[in-house]
């Protein structure tokens, strides 16, 4: 199996061969140019700019891999701000000894995800570090999105509804199951998906409705909600019975002692809107595969501002605090 | 010494504390926001987009460190395309056990370099990987630049002059000296510097003169020249006696068996222009500290197209090929 060598990261012929023969060949001729920068068509208006490095282990898992994750994660970071994701960069840090077969698999997955999301990978970089210098491959994607108009409107107030675009915990539990040798269930798979089309459809149908939106990655939905209420004059109440969680995910969570509200997702948003729009937004989300399990999961309250509460199945209330650290490292 | 823990990379309180207390505190309030993307002011016109991951070892060296390198490298990638560097992202992959003292030193260096170059770090990301999972710290910076007008004009033709904005090999030899315990000479230091102001001044004074410009990083000046002539109907001739190399750098090169024309620089451009502009451009460069040792180092020829030649001190000619791999790994 042909392996990546230190020389593939240097400024010579080996690097050029890898860029021409593998990277550019797969990602497309515009991608990973040898020029220092990509020149992008004229833009008019505000742009959004985001970056994420992906260090997930294992690299490949049901429902995705580090390549699709790197594209979809950055696409979603732009989409939740109300920007239309357009251009991505792709910077690889590869450990010596990583095989070309694995690299090609990752790049093909990136290309497929980029095509699916409707974004172009326009510039890139490749570094090779010695064995033990990185964990096989790390990918950074940065992204540029164009604002067509403001997405987020209005102040969050008591009575507003909290929506999850679907089942929670799928990504984190998939990765964790693999690490623990629990990948027996074919139904547990990452929700890794681009959300830009669904978000755009919601925004077009309800242009003044969305007050807050965030993809619930590291730290899960409970961490996103804690971010929203922090230092604000309202609290968030989540109804346990309304939180969509797949049976298999719930089962593994209970086996591993994890709470799905804190488990990472890679294709779910938490959205807040006025009560009057909530049912409509959920219906609009459900017309998309990635929103097919959308639910209203909670309400904004004025009691105990700054806190997130869970109303449990049996009617009790407990605080969902901001955890000191996430339960699952290296999840994205 | 306070160390980075796995939890600092998760979606909880530890991560928020590090972002608020260390990263945002140093890089400035706009930087590394918890929001998923930065919203950038309106832009009108074409934009340039670039990315680079920095994996240099050692992290700190005379004349710079991984932080200043990460800012200046990306600034220069934008500047050589003729774009005005404006916005940078900063994505950190940190190994567990890296100290806050080191992190702060790196971030302060990034902040200083960004201020010096006139760019804003507007968005970021932080991942923590286990010990052995990365080599202490890797930094990705991506950058956005705005085009004020085309910089590069006209076709390269025989008779055109090749300019180096200054002494070659300083960065690579500095890093290599440290690795080999040769850091005895106080005069060997990285040339790590932002080139955007010098490039802008040249472009304003000679708006139609520059036919090609590239920063000579991995692979050095000889690799840049090989890229230019590849598959083209001209060759490049470099005069050894005109190539500016510091005495100390030449000495270490000869000690280690390295050719300064292939050694990485982090603050030098190779530029091609019509003969009539060459002296003027060199004079303009020399008014800047970063261009103080600028020289015309060669000529474009029509003989043996696709090749780069060196005319040696004694008048002989030898080919400067595209090396299979660079002599110095992990140089940036």
Structural domains for chain B: 6-147 (3.30.1330.10), 161-319 (3.90.650.10)
Q: Residue B29's pLDDT is what?
A: 65
pLDDT > 90: percent of chain A: 73
Place of tokens 């994996």: B55
Is pLDDT larger for residue A131 or for residue A217?
A: A217
Q: Based on the number of CB atoms within 10 Å of its own CB, is B157 exposed (0-12), middle (13-18) or buried (19 or more)?
A: middle
Output the average pLDDT for chain A. Answer: 91
Tens digits of per-residue pLDDT, A84-120? Answer: 999 999 999 999 999 999 999 999 999 999 999 999 9
* Strands of B269-273's sheet in order across: B210-215, B269-273, B161-164, B295-301, B235-239, B308-311, B317-319
B131's CB contacts (< 8 A; 6+ apart) are: B95, B96, B97
Q: Residue B327's pLDDT is what?
A: 65
Tens digits of per-residue pLDDT, A11-62? Answer: 788 888 888 888 888 987 665 554 567 777 777 788 999 999 999 999 999 9
Q: Residue B36's pLDDT is what?
A: 60
B85 to chain A nearest CA, in Å? Answer: 11
Does the pLDDT of residue B20 top 50, yes or no? yes
pLDDT > 70: percent of chain A: 96
Helix axes A170-179, A247-256, angle to 10 degrees: 50
Does the pLDDT of residue A242 top 90, yes or no? yes
Are B45 and A49 inside 8 Å of each other by CB?
no
Which residue in chain B is spatially nearest to A136 when comparing CA positions? Answer: B133
Mutation for testing the A interface, residue in B41, B325, B332 having most A CBs under 10 Å: B325
Pick from A326, A106, A305: which is nearest to A224 by CA? Answer: A326
Q: Residue B273's pLDDT is what?
A: 97
From the list A11, A41, A218, the residue facing B218 with the nearest CB is A11
Q: Measure the CA–CA gap between A93 and A8, rounded to whole angstroms.
A: 11
Please report, for residues B67, B77, B210, B222, the alpha-carbon distance to residue B214 in angstroms, rounded to integers and kept in the order given.
21, 8, 11, 12
Pick from B216, B206, B197: which is nearest to B290 by CA? Answer: B197
Q: Residue B325's pLDDT is what?
A: 72
A283 to chain B nearest CA, in Å? Answer: 25
Provide the 10 A C-beta neighbour count for residue B1. 7
pLDDT > 90: percent of chain B: 73
Which of the four pLDDT bands, split at 50, 70 and 90, describes residue A186? low
Helix axes B275-286, B196-205, angle to 10 degrees: 140
Q: Give A-chain residues touching B134 at CB under 8 angstroms.
A: 55, 133-135, 138
Are B36 and A92 inside 8 Å of each other by CB?
no
Tens digits of per-residue pLDDT, A198-229? Answer: 999 999 999 889 999 999 999 999 999 999 99
Q: Residue A34's pLDDT is what?
A: 47
Q: Measure the CA–CA gap between A207 and B67, rounded to whole angstroms.
A: 42
Q: Residue A241's pLDDT is what?
A: 97
Q: Residue B326's pLDDT is what?
A: 65
Q: Residue A208's pLDDT is what?
A: 87
What is the mean pLDDT of the segment spanning A183-192? 81
Does the pLDDT of residue B182 top 90, yes or no? no
Are A10 and B325 inside 8 Å of each other by CB?
yes
Q: Residue A283's pLDDT is what?
A: 98
Are B322 and A12 inside 8 Å of each other by CB?
yes
Which of the four pLDDT bands, split at 50, 70 and 90, describes residue B9? confident
Tens digits of per-residue pLDDT, B91-148? Answer: 999 999 999 999 999 999 999 999 999 999 999 999 999 887 788 999 999 999 998 7
Tens digits of per-residue pLDDT, A265-301? Answer: 999 999 999 999 999 999 999 999 999 999 999 999 9
Q: Residue B331's pLDDT is what?
A: 86
Are A50 and B127 inside 8 Å of each other by CB?
no
Q: Give B-chain residues touching A8 at CB under 8 angstroms.
A: 325
Does the pLDDT of residue A323 top 90, yes or no? no
Q: Measure the CA–CA gap between B62 and A275, rounded to whole angstroms.
A: 60
Are B12 and A89 inside 8 Å of each other by CB?
no
Does the pLDDT of residue B185 top 70, yes or no? no
Q: Measure the CA–CA gap between A211 and A150, rounded to whole angstroms.
A: 11
Q: Residue B204's pLDDT is what?
A: 92
Least confident of A89-93, A247-251, B43-47, B307-311: B43-47
Which residue in chain B is spatially nearest to A123 when comparing CA positions? Answer: B50
Q: Based on the number of CB atoms within 10 Å of its own CB, is B315 exposed (0-12), middle (13-18) or buried (19 or more)?
A: exposed
DSSP-assigned letter for residue A72: H
Helix or strand holding residue B269 (H, E): strand B269-273
A231 to chain B nearest CA, in Å? Answer: 14
Does the pLDDT of residue B302 top 60, yes or no? yes
Q: Residue B323's pLDDT is what?
A: 86
Q: Measure the CA–CA gap between A172 and A245, rounded to whole angstroms.
A: 12
Q: Residue A135's pLDDT is what?
A: 82
Q: Residue B37's pLDDT is what?
A: 72
Q: Taking a C-beta distance cutoff of 8 angstroms, is the pair B194, B116 a contact?
A: yes
pTM: 0.94
Q: Give A-chain residues touching B45 at CB under 8 angstroms.
A: 42-43
Q: Residue A30's pLDDT is what?
A: 62
Q: Return the number of CB contacts < 8 Å for A and B.
A: 264
Q: Give B-chain residues touching A123 at CB under 8 angstroms.
A: 49-51
Q: Is the ipTM of this complex over 0.90?
A: yes
Pick from B168, B331, B176: which is nearest to B262 by CA? Answer: B168
Output the average pLDDT for chain B. Answer: 91
A208 to chain B nearest CA, in Å? Answer: 19
Which residue in chain B is spatially nearest to A15 when comparing CA positions? Answer: B325
Which residue in chain A is spatially nearest to B323 when comparing CA positions? Answer: A12
């Amino acid at each position: 199996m042909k392996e990546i060598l230190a020389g593939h990261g240097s400024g010579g012929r080996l690097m050029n061969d890898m860029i021409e023969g593998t990277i550019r060949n797969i990602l497309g001729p515009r991608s990973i140019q040898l020029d220092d920068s990509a020149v992008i068509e004229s833009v008019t208006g505000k742009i959004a700019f985001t970056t994420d490095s992906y260090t997930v282990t294992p690299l490949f898992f049901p429902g995705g891999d580090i390549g699709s994750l790197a594209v979809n994660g950055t696409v979603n970071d732009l989409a939740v701000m109300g920007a239309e994701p357009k251009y991505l960069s792709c910077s690889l840090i590869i450990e010596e000894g990583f095989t070309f077969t694995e690299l090609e698999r990752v790049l093909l997955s990136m290309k497929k995800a980029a095509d699916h999301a409707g974004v172009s990978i326009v510039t890139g970089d490749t570094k090779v570090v010695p064995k033990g210098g990185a964990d096989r491959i790390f990918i950074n994607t940065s992204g540029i999105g164009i604002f067509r108009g403001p997405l987020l409107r209005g102040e969050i107030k008591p009575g507003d509804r909290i929506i999850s675009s679907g089942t929670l915990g799928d990504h984190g539990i998939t990765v964790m199951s693999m690490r623990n040798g629990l990948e027996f269930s074919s139904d547990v798979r990452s929700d890794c998906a681009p959300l830009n089309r669904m978000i755009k459809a919601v925004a077009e149908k309800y242009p003044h409705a969305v007050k807050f939106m965030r993809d619930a990655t590291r730290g899960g939905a409970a961490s996103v909600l804690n971010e929203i209420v922090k230092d604000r004059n309202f609290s968030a109440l989540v109804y346990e019975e309304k939180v969509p969680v797949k049976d298999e995910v719930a089962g593994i969570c209970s086996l591993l002692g994890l709470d799905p509200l804190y488990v990472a997702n890679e294709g779910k948003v938490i959205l807040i809107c006025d009560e009057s729009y909530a049912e409509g937004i959920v219906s609009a989300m459900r017309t998309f595969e990635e929103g097919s399990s959308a639910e209203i999961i909670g309400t904004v309250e004025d009691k105990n501002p700054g806190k997130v509460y869970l109303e449990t199945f049996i009617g009790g209330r407990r605080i969902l605090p901001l955890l000191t650290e996430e339960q699952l490292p290296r999840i994205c």
